[in-house]
Each structure stands twice: as C-alpha cells, then as structure tokens.
Amino acid sequence: MNTPPDLWEYRLQAEDSGQKYMAILRHKFHFSVKLLQHLKQGERVWVNGKFSYLTARGKEGDTLSIQLFSTEEANIQGEDLPLDILYEDEYMLAVNKPVGQVVHPNRRYPTNTLGNAVVGHWERKGESRLFRPIHRIDRNTSGVVVIAKNQFAHQQLAWQLERGHIHKRYHGFVEGVVEEDNGIIDLSIGFAPNSFIKRQIQADGMSARTLFRVLHRYTNVTFLEFILETGRTHQIRTHCEGFGHPLLGDDLYGGTQTLLSRHALHSSMYAFLHPATRLPMVIRAPFPKDLRLLLIKLRDLDTDNP
C-alpha cells in the first residue's frame, strides 16, 4: 500500500510502549475526541507503513503516521482580494488584517471579508479548505490573525488558546497621560444595557485581565503595549474606558476622533507552538499606514509643544 505524502508522523518513545495509539494521541498530543473519531473513517492511521487501528498498542521505535489532509469543500466564497501574508505552511496561515475588514462573513458584511480573501488565495493555489480562524479581531482593529489550514491544526491551536498557552500582544494609543509605567487592569466585563455590541465594566460580568506597559508618553496621549490574560470581546477597548483612558478614535468607548478615525489598536504579535512541529512560533505584524502617520503627528505635536 502506498501511503499518502501528506502525513503527520511521530516516532514512539520508551514511555509510549504498551499504550494504545489512541491514548498516545489523546493525552500526549491533545487530539480531540472529534478528531480521533474522524481518523477512524477510512485508512488514515499507519504504523511502520502499514494500516493500523487506533486501539492497537505500540512499542518503542514504531513510526505512527496520520493522514490529516483530506480535501474539504470551502465554506466561504473565495474572492480575489489583497492579502498581506506573514507566514504560511501546510498547517497554518498568518496574515496582517487591514483596518475596516471583517474576519468572517455575516449578514451585514457578506463579502470582502478576510475569509473571502483567504479562501480566494487558497483557490488560486489549487487548494480547497475550510476557513478556520483561531481568533478574531474587531473590524477596525488591524494586525495578526492566525488561520488553521486543517482540522488537526485548528484543534491543536484551539487547545493552546483555551489554556492560555498562546501569547497575544497589542499596541494602542490612549487619551491622556498614563502615570503608571506598567500595571494590570482587572475588571469584569458584561454587556452594556440595550446593546448587543457594546460592553461595560460590571461587577457580575466575566472576569477579564489586561496587562499594560507604557512605551511612550506624548502630549495628552500615551502609547501602550497590552498583553491579554483573558480574551473577552472588546476587552482592551472596555478596559481602557474603565481605566479612564479610552483608545484614540474609539467613539463607542468614549474616545475622540480628532487624531484618528478608528480606534487606535493593533494586534502586533502572536506567539505559540507550531501545531505539528511544536516548535516556538512568533508572528509579528507591522503597523498599518494610519498608525504610522499617527506616530508622526504625535511627534510633531510634541515638537510644537516642548
């Protein structure tokens, strides 16, 4: 039997001897129950080049091979749109999302989304895949978005995200001068009254923690780095308002648009373990044009007001 070329492989170690392959995949590599059930369909599991059942037991030195790359029918219409690719391999794609683009199509934005752009990119490469973003960022937040290219990669990255093993950093500009050099905003978040979009600080909301560090203080503006310990919707935007320093341009959360017409927030870094190799990955996204121009404006204002 000729095994397919696209395989995930693992060579069993001494501690794996006597264990079922299913147990090794489940407990050592965090394969989900759903993914293991999917692998039972057809001859997708081989040991030393021969078909095997997941319930068989392994021994040291066995080469366990898993076929992960089955053809999938795209769940989104592909479009020929610009796409700023930061990294891509057979498991994942990382892009620098522009300002004003929604991640996933919805009733209000059925086309011109990041999903349409990604699927169109894959179609031009002759690939048919589902669009599986690991996380989402707001329409007017720019920066890193990571997309899994198959069920295995999605499950592996989602597992890391759920357990806080993925580190995300944002950069933003807030109104006023933040006096503390660094700190933690630990304020619970819930829905604002009569709104399906806006959040607010509320004692009985979901716990949320944002770490911040001052990078530079301008005249009445502070440039901050944010690290999320939790991933609530609008977390940074809500915390900045509750902290008394709304993001520049964020009129939904108390910011003014004198210097910028959208909230000044950028997803700048995403660090995690590669879903297949388990080697550390760091994806960085440079600032878009509007934030680069904002930096120039702020420096000019400081020069005018020494």
- Supply the CATH number for residue 18's domain: 3.10.290.10
For CA atoms 40, 45, 51, 54, the dihedral sign is negative
Position 106 in a domain:
no
Tally the domains of the chain: 2
Active-site choice (16, 62, 138, 250): 138
Name the pairing type of β-strands 85-88 and 209-218.
unpaired
- H-assigned helices in 126-191: 151-162
Q: How far apart are CA 157 and CA 144, in angstroms?
A: 15
Radius of gyration over alpha carbons of the chain, in Å? 23
Is there a contact between 172 and 224 (Cβ–Cβ < 8 Å)?
yes
Q: Are 104 and 159 in contact (CB under 8 A)?
A: no
pLDDT per residue as tens digits for the range 147-183: 999 888 998 999 999 888 999 999 999 999 999 999 9
What whole-number distance in Å separates Cα of residue 72 and Cα of residue 151?
10
Is pLDDT above 80 for 42? no
The helix/strand/coil state of 117 is helix
Residue 167's pLDDT is: 93
Has residue 215 been placed in a domain?
A: yes
Check residue 304 and give its pLDDT.
Answer: 61
Same domain, 188 and 297: yes
pLDDT of residue 4: 43
Average of per-residue pLDDT across 246-251: 97
Boundary (domain end) residue, out of 32, 67, 102: 67
Rounded distance between C-alpha atoms, residue 184 and residue 303, angstroms: 31
306 or 27, which is more confident: 27
Reduce the DSSP state of residue 270 to 3 states and report it.
strand
For every residue of 98-128, DSSP letters joined together read PTT--SS--SS--SSSHHHHHHHHHHHTT--
Dist CA 26 CA 31 (whole Å): 5
For 175, the domain range is 167-268+292-304
* Assigned domain for 226 exists: yes
| Mean model confidence pLDDT for the chain | 91
Residues in the chain: 306
109 in a structural domain: no
Confidence of residue 1 (pLDDT cuts 50, 70, 90): very low
Q: With 90 as the cut, is the pLDDT of residue 306 above it?
A: no
Going by C-alpha positions, the residue among 230, 234, 239 that lies closest to residue 164 is 230
Report yes or no on 87 lying in a domain.
no
Confidence bin at 272 (pLDDT 50/70/90): very high
19 has pLDDT over 90: yes
pLDDT band at 146 (very low <50, low <70, confident <90, very high): very high
CATH number at residue 205: 3.30.2350.10
Closest of 45, 35, 51, 36 to residue 150, by C-alpha: 35
Which residues share a beta bridge with 199?
191
Nearest to 210 by CA among 179, 181, 180, 232: 232
* Cβ-count burial 240-272 (b if 16+ within 10 Å, e if not): bbbbebbbbbbebbebeeebbebbbbbbbbbeb
- Domain limit, last residue, from 41, 67, 93: 67
Question: Does 111 reside within a domain?
Answer: no
- The pLDDT tens digits for 65-82 are 888 766 677 789 999 999
292 Cβ contact list (under 8 Å, min separation 6): none
pLDDT value, residue 71:
63
Tokens of 87: 């990294």
Provide mean pLDDT across the span 49-61. Answer: 91
138 is catalytic: yes
Tell me if 37 is assigned to some domain. Answer: yes
Higher pLDDT, 68 or 282: 282
Q: Considering only residues 50 and 286, tell me which one the structure prediction assigns the higher pLDDT.
A: 286
- Write out pLDDT tens, residues 222-239: 999 999 999 899 999 999
Contacts of 166 (CB under 8 A, 6+ apart): 134, 157, 160, 270, 271, 272
Q: Which residues does residue 224 pair with via DSSP β-bridges, in sequence order?
A: 172, 214
- Look at residue 171 and tell me if it is in a domain: yes
- pLDDT value of position 239: 97
Among residues 67, 93, 116, the one where a domain terminates is 67
Give me the pLDDT at residue 72, please.
72
